Structure 1
Amino acid sequence: MISKIKIALLLLLIIAFLFPSLYIRPVNASNDPVKVWFSSEYKPKDHGWYTNNWESNITFKLSPQPDLFFTSPDEELLPTITVIPSIQYQTIEGIGTSLEESTIFNLSKMSSEVRSTVLRELFDRQNGIGLSLIRICFGSSDFTARDFYTYDDLPKGNTDSELQYFTIQKDKDYNIISTLQGILQIDNNIKVFASPWSPPAWMKSPETLIGGRLKSEWIPTLAKYYRKAIQAYQQEGIPIYAMTLQNEPLYEPPDYPGCFVSPEQERDLAKALSRELKNNQLKTKLWIYDHTFFDWYAYITRWGLNAWSYVNTVFSDPEAYQAVDGVAFHDYGGEPSEMTRIRNTYPEKGMYFTERSVWGIEGAARIIQYFRNWAKTYVAWVTMLDSNKQPEKWTFAPDPTILIQNAQNPDYYWHTPEYYLLGQFSKFILPGAKRIYTNSGNPDALSNVAFLNPDNTIVVVVVNATNSTQKFRILTSMGQIKTIIPAKTVATYKWKYEPTIKDIISLRSRANNLFVSVEASENYYLKASQSQITLNTKFEVIPLDNGRIALKSIVNNKFVSAENAGSLPLVANRESIGNWEIFDVEILERENDIALKSLANNKYVCAENAGKDPLIANRDKVKGAWEAFELILANR
């Protein structure tokens, strides 16, 4: 006679075989440690940094902390950061800084030994902060020690339609080329992208590098000019990964190089330059706009021009749409959510953050917002001025740079806190990392962002913007870690990912506060009907990249589908994944809340009739509680 214990064990084995995801132990099986580093602010943005080396006063400087270990989740009420690696968003292409001529000028004053040390501190991942992306200027910007120049400068009244006088010799003379070559010897995977501040003056009206507007008749020649610049750098062993077509095209600066380029002109330039690149077997990516999120001055004085209208004008042309790889942004006005707005309209195009230095904990929280709004890059602006805030020709007084050089002793320099705060991101988030789901957090308290690296490690960056130590936990399908973060501190947590541990979730409708369930009695339609988590309310998350997932019901092992291209309710009845079974996961402002948008009809999932009817993808936008769902890890 078989004992009751043996029968019970046999039943458990059968259930485990049918539903393996339920029986994966939600604790890191190898018990690998979670590594932790802290950095803190000190007198952020204070111009006293230029004349005072306060570096020793910084409490944490990428300081390692004791290892943490995953434990089984408990019920203690704590602020919780939920990490779900199976929900994956944009791929990170690099985190870096600019090497405008001001920084190169100051580097060139150093001895070769000290200069080598500085470059390794910036670009070596083991011995420095591992910056992986460099922005250079094609010609002069406002941060330079030299007279303003381009690669084809002529006496006023002359033109050069054949570009016979084109040369990058000044970039060689000013040590720009040699500095970049030295950096690529440290890591030849570092990407270099370029931005022009102005075309040659003879292509503009009036005929000056400072301010002015591009003349449309010179667009084909300007495309050849940029192609020649890319080729010239490539011949020096410096591939140009990408190029923005014009730095801040809506602004005509009064005292340094710049150029107004209308969206119609940028559209035509993108097409012309794309043809030049293809005809010469060049793979440089093209990024448009390269301006702030929202520019009130441009909006008022340029007939309502802003990021949205500018990008739409370019992308409304099919050839230009194909020519352009992404949209570049600065942060001198408006909000990072503009990137999400444009990305959601053009999901095939990358969003790139290309210019803005930020300071202190507030700045670190701002970087988090860039990444949470689809930025594939972060690039600081101006790396090292000296203690006299030189050299520069900008309109205003620059705030402290990442590094500061003593004007009287060029080999003596110091790091501002921003070096270490930037390193909390750049040292640990690898190119090729994918941003992964975390709940939104509170930018005024604990904000966060998380990534899955190509080496299968997870990195979570957390910012404590408050004036007190905060206790919180990080919750994953592997278990939880409880920890604290000091006031005004950035913490980075890194651990090995266990891909065999599946992410199992439940969704609670905000319409009626009930869990979404697969209703076996109603042909497996999905309905917000259960007061607690059960087998019927659990779904395995299947990662599909770019913020998209499929959901597999645990109760019947079928994929959830927006039936009949979304015209019928959601149902768990599919054996495989097609467009009807794919959903975008959009993170909402309320803690832990998401919206699901069906790829079948590009409409949001709704708990129809306040949850009394089955879920259906039939809403054009998220209007309120009916389209909002609380996402809860349900591995236990």
Structure 2
Amino acid sequence: MASLVQAVLFTFATHTFAQSISDLGVSGGNGSRGGIGDGDHPVMHAQAYITDAMIPLAPNTTRQLAQGTAPVLSRTNNSGTCGNFRFVVVDSTSNGARQQMVGFGHAWTDSAVDVFNTLQPAVLDQVMNDLFGQSGNNMGFMRHTIGSSDLSGAQYSYDDNGPSFNEGEPDPSLANFSLGQYGTAMAQMIAKMGTYKGDVFLFGAPWSLPGWMKNNDLFIAGITNTPGGQYPLLNNSFNIGYIPQAVEYFTKYIDAFAQYGVTINGLSLENEPLNYQGGYPTMYLDAADEANILNQGLGSMLQQRGVLAMAYDHNTDQPVYPYRVLQGAPSYAHAVAWHCYQGPYPNYTVMADISRAFPGTLQFMTECSNYLPAAGSVNFEVAENFIPPVQQGASGAAMWVMATDPDFGPHSPYGGCNGCLGSIVVNSSTTYTKTNDYYMIGQFSRFVRRGSVNYNVLRGNEGSGATSNQFYVMSVQNPDGSWAVVFMNNMGSDQDVVLSFTGQGNQFWEGVVPSQTVTTWLIPSQQVLNQVNGTKAASTVPPYPFTNTTSIPLTGSTTIAVCNITTATTSSSSSSTSTTALPVPDTTHTIATTSMV
């Protein structure tokens, strides 16, 4: 069974369709755009960057976006004489071109806004540059919460019209709509993001619409989680009689954020629409109702404002939901969002099915949490939920919690994640910690440019979520013609890799991908290579060895023997650490009975 899963996971590509992001807008701002691999910052020589998967026991004891030994370009194949090497083949022809990439990033939650607002101005400037600047993680695909989520200390919507969330009276004209204290703080903080990076794709998602828009007609008497608060445990679903008000709610939200200089580029109508238990903001939204909201005014409004409608936004185990939305609102639904929480592991192959059934539909992995990763353990949560989705058609991916305090908050005490680790932990008004997730996300967001193209990897991938070991490969060509090739090595040993591109003749890039790491190789464009080996070679660019060669066939074993490989330094405290199964968040967000009395 594992071999079958593996085969399905990595051989879909010849049957998928390329997706374009040419019509997508950006959130704007006067910050920098692009980065290494764009037209202004071409890759001029091969480079390697390494992040150890082991959560460090002490600061600066593991490699975190550390520069490694660059791969060497050779035209020599001395096969069969020196040992086994992993042969990675990228189909760099037009047949191998897949989806264009938007980027990688995180989510703006109330927890991030709250803790960032405690920082002194100079420290806030530093952390924002670490996240969005070209000298930092350069993130370009960002989510934000519309109203409260489980990473909010208070529960609210933008039109509660009453003493608290879920207790308001109907407001059919939305006369009481307001971003309020928390929504305003979020809009202002996101606006700051634009001063550090100007080409972010930003999309919003509500955890619930205002309580009065829901059926909310069945309660358990006597349960109050906050003074005066009632939380529906049954029939917590959208009331279709309020479709016009839902359309107006989203319209007002988009326009309100625009007043703060924030352009919304995408909209998910409901985060986790199949998650409806009470205790914190959730709401059941049927796929047919999601399509009807789009058809009855929301879709045309979004098109007028250049906002992408993103269907579903939940786990991979219910792919029929986005099918129903795409079929029900074909004029307006042009994207699908997925989460990683299907157990025992997400089945991202459903994304390839969507691409076949609805060619041109954009797809994204929009939420995955890293729950209480323990120091000294090996953790690939970011890479194993970024690389496979891209292999299956995702144009971008975002982890969930971007920033919290040291207690994983502020978060809801009634079901909020009390162990979701973000990239940034704010310790005081002057100090913050960049976690290993920060560096893992940087392995993608720093090197994959907006508009780059993902290409099919013909050989080199091994394993899946069903196996104990994995070697994943993601290969994109950036706008300058260079390649960013990201490897995830969970094989238990260093992997000597020989990388080739079918569209670039007999050129073999040889190097080591260390054990238990995510390693990114930056490969110069063919134009740069031609210059390096011609009369225009720059003195700052190292020469590449070219000798006679014989081609390596594309059939047979995934490993070959090559002798002239340059061995990278692979000593690390993570080399001898065995992979440990880590706890995962309760993806159904069940609230313990003891917390409700």
What TM-score comes out, normalization by structure 1 length?
A: 0.67
> What is aligned with 2:421?
400
Equivalent residues in 2 for 1:367-446, closer than 5 Å: 367-393=386-412, 394-406=415-427, 409-440=428-459, 441-443=461-463, 444-446=469-471
The amino acid that maps onto 2:295 is K
The amino acid that maps onto 2:193 is I
CA–CA separation in structure 1 for the residues paired with 2:216 and 2:44:
64
CA–CA separation in structure 2 for the residues paired with 1:34 and 1:157:
60
User: How far 1:533 moved relative to its partner?
Assistant: 9.8
Equivalent residues in 2 for 1:231-242, closer than 5 Å: 231-242=255-266
User: How far 1:490 moved relative to its partner?
Assistant: 1.1
User: How far 1:427 moved relative to its partner?
Assistant: 0.2
CA–CA separation in structure 2 for the residues paired with 1:170 and 1:273:
28
Runs of 4+ residues over 4 Å off in structure 1: 207-211, 499-502, 588-592
Q: Note if 1:55 corresponds to 2:55.
A: no
Larger Rg: 1
User: How far 1:43 moved relative to its partner?
Assistant: 3.1
Aligned match for 2:68, one of 65, 68, 72: 65
Aligned match for 1:134, one of 127, 136, 142: 142
The amino acid that maps onto 1:467 is G
CA–CA separation in structure 2 for the residues paired with 1:590 and 1:215:
57
> What is aligned with 2:34?
none
The amino acid that maps onto 1:54 is A
Task: Summarize deviations over 1:40-67 as a string: whole Å, max 9, x none.
Answer: 12238xxxxxxxx83322x211111233
User: How far 1:250 moved relative to its partner?
Assistant: 0.6
Any conservation in 1 of the 2:409–2:418 contact (CA below 8 Å)?
A: no
CA–CA separation in structure 2 for the residues paired with 1:55 and 1:135:
29
> What is aligned with 1:329?
338
> What is aligned with 1:166?
177
**CA distance 1:209–1:426, change in 2 (3 Å):** farther
User: How far 1:466 moved relative to its partner?
Assistant: 2.5
User: How far 1:74 moved relative to its partner?
Assistant: 0.8
> What is aligned with 2:122?
113
Any conservation in 2 of the 1:201–1:209 contact (CA below 8 Å)?
A: no
Task: Summarize deviations over 1:289-317 as a string: whole Å, max 9, x none.
Answer: 101111xxxxxxxxxxx222x12322333
> What is aligned with 1:505?
none
Aligned match for 1:460, one of 467, 482, 485: 485
Any conservation in 1 of the 2:480–2:525 contact (CA below 8 Å)?
A: no
Structure 1: gaps (5+ residues) = 1-29, 45-52, 295-305, 503-531, 539-587, 593-636
The amino acid that maps onto 1:68 is P
Any conservation in 2 of the 1:55–1:417 contact (CA below 8 Å)?
A: no
User: How far 1:33 moved relative to its partner?
Assistant: 2.7
User: How far 1:390 moved relative to its partner?
Assistant: 1.9
Task: Summarize deviations over 1:373-397 as a string: whole Å, max 9, x none.
Answer: 1111100101112212221113453
Any conservation in 2 of the 1:210–1:258 contact (CA below 8 Å)?
A: no
Count, aligned residues? 454
**CA distance 1:103–1:273, change in 2 (3 Å):** farther
RMSD value, Cα: 2.9
Name the one with the larger helix percent: 1
Any conservation in 2 of the 1:361–1:464 contact (CA below 8 Å)?
A: no
CA–CA separation in structure 1 for the residues paired with 2:274 and 2:249:
21
CA–CA separation in structure 2 for the residues paired with 1:177 and 1:376:
25
Any conservation in 1 of the 2:216–2:237 contact (CA below 8 Å)?
A: yes
Task: Summarize deviations over 1:490-536 as a string: whole Å, max 9, x none.
Answer: 1111122227999xxxxxxxxxxxxxxxxxxxxxxxxxxxxx999xx
Classify the secondary structure of the residue corresponding to 2:54: coil
**CA distance 1:372–1:590, change in 2 (3 Å):** farther
CA–CA separation in structure 2 for the residues paired with 1:450 and 1:435:
6
> Mean alpha-carbon deviation: is it higher for 34-43 or for 375-384?
34-43
User: How far 1:434 moved relative to its partner?
Assistant: 0.8
CA–CA separation in structure 2 for the residues paired with 1:159 and 1:116:
42
CA–CA separation in structure 2 for the residues paired with 1:133 and 1:275:
22
Q: Note if 1:191 corresponds to 2:201.
A: yes
Classify the secondary structure of the residue corresponding to 1:449: strand
Classify the secondary structure of the residue corresponding to 2:178: coil
CA–CA separation in structure 2 for the residues paired with 1:201 and 1:193:
22
User: How far 1:107 moved relative to its partner?
Assistant: 0.7
> What is aligned with 1:627?
none
User: How far 1:216 moved relative to its partner?
Assistant: 0.6
Classify the secondary structure of the residue corresponding to 2:194: helix
Any conservation in 2 of the 1:131–1:427 contact (CA below 8 Å)?
A: yes
Any conservation in 2 of the 1:148–1:209 contact (CA below 8 Å)?
A: no
The amino acid that maps onto 2:169 is N
Any conservation in 1 of the 2:106–2:401 contact (CA below 8 Å)?
A: yes
> Mean alpha-carbon deviation: is it higher for 97-106 or for 228-237?
228-237
Equivalent residues in 2 for 1:198-217, closer than 5 Å: 198-206=208-216, 212-217=236-241
**CA distance 1:490–1:133, change in 2 (3 Å):** same
Aligned match for 1:293, one of 312, 316, 326: 316
**CA distance 1:128–1:210, change in 2 (3 Å):** farther
Classify the secondary structure of the residue corresponding to 1:56: coil
Question: Looking at both structures, which has the greater relative contact order when contacts are Cα pairs under 8 Å and sequence separation is at least 6?
Answer: 2
Aligned match for 1:182, one of 192, 195, 214: 192
The amino acid that maps onto 1:384 is A
Any conservation in 2 of the 1:80–1:472 contact (CA below 8 Å)?
A: yes
Aligned match for 2:285, one of 245, 253, 261: 261
CA–CA separation in structure 2 for the residues paired with 1:36 and 1:501:
17
Classify the secondary structure of the residue corresponding to 1:205: coil
> What is aligned with 2:224?
none
CA–CA separation in structure 2 for the residues paired with 1:209 and 1:341:
38
Classify the secondary structure of the residue corresponding to 2:330: helix
Classify the secondary structure of the residue corresponding to 1:97: strand
User: How far 1:399 moved relative to its partner?
Assistant: 3.3
**CA distance 1:39–1:184, change in 2 (3 Å):** same
**CA distance 1:314–1:428, change in 2 (3 Å):** same
**CA distance 1:348–1:67, change in 2 (3 Å):** closer
**CA distance 1:366–1:168, change in 2 (3 Å):** closer
Equivalent residues in 2 for 1:230-629, closer than 5 Å: 230-277=254-301, 281-294=304-317, 306-308=318-320, 310-317=321-328, 320-333=329-342, 334-358=346-370, 360-361=379-380, 363-393=382-412, 394-406=415-427, 409-440=428-459, 441-443=461-463, 444-476=469-501, 477=504, 479-498=507-526
Classify the secondary structure of the residue corresponding to 1:424: helix
CA–CA separation in structure 1 for the residues paired with 2:76 and 2:90:
13
Any conservation in 2 of the 1:198–1:257 contact (CA below 8 Å)?
A: yes
The amino acid that maps onto 2:107 is S
The amino acid that maps onto 2:99 is Q
> What is aligned with 1:526?
none
CA–CA separation in structure 2 for the residues paired with 1:385 and 1:355:
16
Classify the secondary structure of the residue corresponding to 2:113: helix
Task: Summarize deviations over 1:115-144 as a string: whole Å, max 9, x none.
Answer: 11111101112x201111221111111101
**CA distance 1:533–1:176, change in 2 (3 Å):** closer
CA–CA separation in structure 1 for the residues paired with 2:333 and 2:85:
45
Any conservation in 2 of the 1:90–1:435 contact (CA below 8 Å)?
A: yes
CA–CA separation in structure 1 for the residues paired with 2:250 and 2:418:
31
User: How far 1:589 moved relative to its partner?
Assistant: 14
Q: Note if 1:37 corresponds to 2:49.
A: yes
The amino acid that maps onto 1:489 is T
Any conservation in 1 of the 2:43–2:482 contact (CA below 8 Å)?
A: no
The amino acid that maps onto 2:279 is D
